[in-house]
Structure 1
Amino acid sequence: MKFMENMLFKYGDGKVIRILHINRVSSIIYVIDMASNRWAYPLKMDELRHFQEQSDIILMEEDIYCRIVIEEDLSDAEKRKREHAWGIVKYILDNVETEEHLYLSKYREPAIKEAMQMFKLSYNGVKNLLIRYWHGAQTKDSLIPSYHRCGAKRRDRISGNHKRGRPRSGERGIGINVDDKMKKIFKQALNRYYYSERNNSLKITYELMLRDAFVKDEVEQNGVKLPVLMDKSQLPTYQQFLYWYKKLNNPKKEISKRKGTRVYQQNYRTIIGDSTQDAGGACGSLWQIDSNVFDIYLISSMNRDLIVGRPILHVVIDVYSRLIMGFNVSFESLNSYSGAMVALANSMTSKKKFASKYGVSIEDEEWPYCVPLRVMADRGELVGKQIENAIQGLGITIQNTPPYHADYKGIIESAFSVMNSRVKPFADGVVIKGKGSKERGEADYRLKANLSIEDFITIIIKCVLFHNNHHVLTDYVLDDLMIEEGIEKIPIQIWNHGLKHRKGKLRILPEEMILSHLYPIDQASVTARGVLYKKILYASDYTLKNEWFQKARIYGSWKVNICYDPRDLTCIYVMDEGEQGVLKLTLLDHLMKYANKGIEEIEQMAKHEQKVDEKSKERELQVKVKLFTEIEHIVENAKRKTDSEREYDKSKTQRLAGIKENQRNERLLHRTSESKRTSIVEMPTAYTEEPEEVTDDLSIFFNNDGDYDEE
């Protein structure tokens, strides 16, 4: 591993050091302990490398000691103190011959003494500034005073007996503290009088609150009871009410209640960005997403004799490099939210597994992925409350173009045209000349369709790989550095150049986190047979270990929130399952016929099975009617025979007596008849002797007591 300045390393005991300077000639590295006020000290490069190889120290990926500040947010005092401190540090840096001398006391001490005399500071004052400078990655902003750590910011102070805040001036009494009870009164007043269509001002809301909650008595005047307020020293001031309004107020609630939800959705929603096409000069800074009905008719993957219509293609393109980041093919509606979300999820995760499902082997270098900063859409699938979850969870800003301005997304609009032009010359079932109907005598191109959605996705993957790795962007304007390095106008080369010379490494997030935010969300049922979704059952080691299905059998089923990939229902993901986060469930073994199939295919399979079942049930009904008639005929014959042989002079008691004995006799008779039938069937054809006569007289099988004689 190559050591770099400002790297942070952590020991096993929690100690953290920062690399300040590397002398590659002498192989000496100067480091500083981030938890102490000790001067920087030297380490041998081999010693540090040995510690790392033995895992005694680990590299810290995130620098938690660097303070990130916005210049406009700094106060004048902070800027002034920073400049003063930087002047002292810069004076010391200028008074040592080399940077390494700053870490050697015999060179550093004279420079510090000069700074002490120059700026009238103590030795510890200068030392503290240098150590702050080193701790903060040797940046100017590390010398900003740590005012942000002072006080109890964003924490409510405990209400005690003494009045908090500044004292009153020229007013009677010292005032009152705002405790939890008082805050509850403030909230009730805001909900009742301020968050309403009447648009009362805060001042009116405050005064109405005093009338409702701070009355000590009532006086009657002209038959009307008038409230008398408490003493002024016992009332909260308007400044206190205003302070807590600012802390308790929800801007979304305020605008929605006072101006209406529609106004908030149109003018104040945080997800609405400007409609610029500025890519920020870096990879992953701005993506464009759009959907289009592809000019081809597809057939069913289940029954290739069925024509299923034209697919919807969602494509995501990186504006800076023109790289196609991902796509989705579905039969959803044109501006489908789920279709767009699956395309974004495909763009933000590795495509190796996805491509391998369609027989295409790739590496991540051929088809990169990342999480973007901004995504530009056209007021279709990415307008609505559903996208807010992705924005908040993944830190993405959505920009929407104005209506009727497809030119704002010219990059992706042209990509659809190019994609169609590459498929049309070879595929059957393509739309001819953009027409939706045929002329007289013209063959119907829809009848020529022979590609399933899997075949079509494989073609699109091949087209994307060609575009990313070989397509020449004729109209792309290379900058001077690209020309100097011999960069070709090929998306992958522009992408790699941008990673090297533009904005560092890209944002990468865990795949489960991306899927849980972008995949369509639904509910599944935990049943005794498995987790049921779309009439398909799922399970996992976690669900079996935690006895989900046993509990469902005992206590009844319950609902769980899931997200899923509409293209492949082999797995679903249960969300918010305690510490597990996103829990992956897979199909049960006996339902693997649904593996690697999308939701549209599974619905087609269900419809096909339903049609087959309907035909079978029609035949079943016909045969069942015949069965009913035959049973009824047998019952009628039996009834007629029984009526002819029944002795009607017997009482009910006489008929019911001896049922068990009658059953035994009937059993013996049945055995005799079965034995007789069997002996006749098994008799050899060459047997010529007369068979022994079989009597029907059952008395020979019973002894004198009426019991069965086995002999």
Structure 2
Amino acid sequence: MNALIKNTVICLPQNQDTKRILYVSQGNDLIVSIPMRGRRCSPGISSHCEWSSMLENGDLEIINDPTLDLPFSHALTDGMISRKEKAWTTIEPLVKDIPAIFESRYRNNKISIRAVETNCHVDSIRDWLCEYWQMGCTPSALFGKRNNCGAPGKIKPSRAKTLITPEGDTTVEVKRGAPRSKTPGIGMNISEEHRNIIRVATNLFYKKNKKATLKLAYLKMIHHYYRDKITIDSKGKISITHPDEIPTYQQFIYWYKKQNEEYDVVIARKGRTYFEKTLRPLLGNSTFESIGPGYRYQIDATIADVYLVSRIDRNTIVGRPVFYVVIDVWSRLIVGLYIGLEQASWATAMMAIHNVTLNKVEFCRQFDIEIDPDEWPNTPLASVLLGDRGELLSKQADRLAEVLDVENTPPYRADWKGIVERQFRLLPAKFAADVKGYVEKDFVQRTGPDYRLDASLTLHEFTKIAIHCILEHNTTPINGYPLENSMVAQEIPAIPSHLWKWGSRNRMGALVRHSENKLIFALLPTAEVSVTANGISFLGRNYYSAEVHQRNWFTKARGKGRFKVTISYHPHNLNNIYLHDPAYRDNFTVCTLISTNTSDLCLYVEEVLANAAKARKTNTKMAYDVLGRQLTHQKAIEDIARTANDEKTEIGEPTQSKKDRISNIRSYRLIEKAINRITNYRTGFGIPMPKSAYTRQTAVEPQLVDRYARVPIFADNED
């Protein structure tokens, strides 16, 4: 195949001269070309045979077209459109007169005639012809080379002018920008010296002082670096003597933003840990880390914000329980829990992990809760268990690592296991309004109520409430869950129990990743989209580019709110979108879809919109069923709380003083803990404890032991 065809761009390696082929004769004996650089260049004629030989010998190279002709309508001004229409109307008859127009004498004659006909200057027609040929022989080349205008991003040099005065000629610097209309004086240009002062002042007075504001940094800059422009009288009052030689606050802010990235400022003022937790781009989803249900679990513990009482004597406050939750990353199903009075440790974490493997129907039945197997499916141990740098970093965890992969988050990075962390905020909200003894935010305030005295729930009752909350979670739709297209097609709602059941049948294999295909740039439809902390959002899907990440756009969107940008997209393939460069209309940045699901790839725009509408409709269908289940669990919570309150009321007011009840909480907790350990073993919560532990736990004050003397469990300890 002949490589030397029309519109091919060639380069001579000796002098790096580039030319565009405009015409190849029918006999393949002559080639007409024009230099790519230069103004008012004329076409030249060369031998086809000579160029072919040079191409074979390496003296001639074919290169990619350095010009990119993509006339986006949104980037064209009225002046550009008017120029293109006028230029094309003028030169259209000339460029179609091929090959005669390439002969110089004939071309000059035709240009002169056309100049008279259109009332245009001859040089303008020559310029338009040169642009047309150099830029790819398309009418869109006549929009004009506006990319070279304005020098975007470059510092504009100052200009000087000469003033003629009676004392002589004086050269002064011209103030850039519009003249002042309100503030007195002329103002000053910010030179390199002033820019250095602003940079040093922001580093010294703003970045290194977390409490400082930019206004304070500006005032300190004037006081330290512009002392000769101010005066201080005997009373300490400061006056500005040379206002036109001091940067204004607006100039200070402008150059502060010009010289500093928000990323660097936040890290300098608040540290990298704060940035990673608060402002880092949210470009991923925990669901993408798991190939299916049962692959990756997250585990964490917290101290519940509720005080409990002893099951033997409800007037005895035993403290706040430790609440463990184990959750499946892929389906969001809570697969295990543990609630006890022991502190968070490897032993309590092991109880929560053990609870994962229990038969949930039998487990709930021990708490007088009847459920269907689909409400809380039985689950195996996961392949990967993610925890924090606590229980799973102990030596005992080495044994667990022989069965599954144990992962730990970095220090102070709870956001790495955000799925389970979020549950500690959502689950208490389901019972906080109905439970006595729940700790509010005003607990530490002076004159605030003491919620410990209102406690009425036992550990067993609180566990029942927690089970109802978990059952509600497992059967309630999840907002924002990334449903796969196959799920939407099968009308699978974003409910953890449904997702687990569906995933157990369809997502137990290895995760397949497809490499990205190379795309050919073409004229594509455009759209305005939003840059968010999760990526570039288009049609409810997020896209990412390393180049955009380097510009800190996602950080800016998270810190200051989303903003609009313009993209191009292929209506029949939304794997990639093409972000327009705000400074140069001919530049692109390819952004890739953030998804590991193969069903999300190669979709039409209509398919994406239809899937989104169908997903919303599927969740809406079950709205009343979900509402009924929520009401059922809520009623159960209310009944448990009411029964606990009634039982406490029947006992009557405690004979002890408030001080005695509160001061002995630790001792009561030890006794209650010993009872609960044996009860947990019988109910399937935990593992047996040595008898020696009972003796240690009951070694408390004699008057406290007397109160529990009627409990059979302690009679068994004596033998």
TM-score by length of 1: 0.36
Structure of larger gyration radius: 1
TM-score by length of 2: 0.36
The structure showing larger relative contact order (alpha-carbon pairs under 8 Å, at least 6 residues apart) is: 2
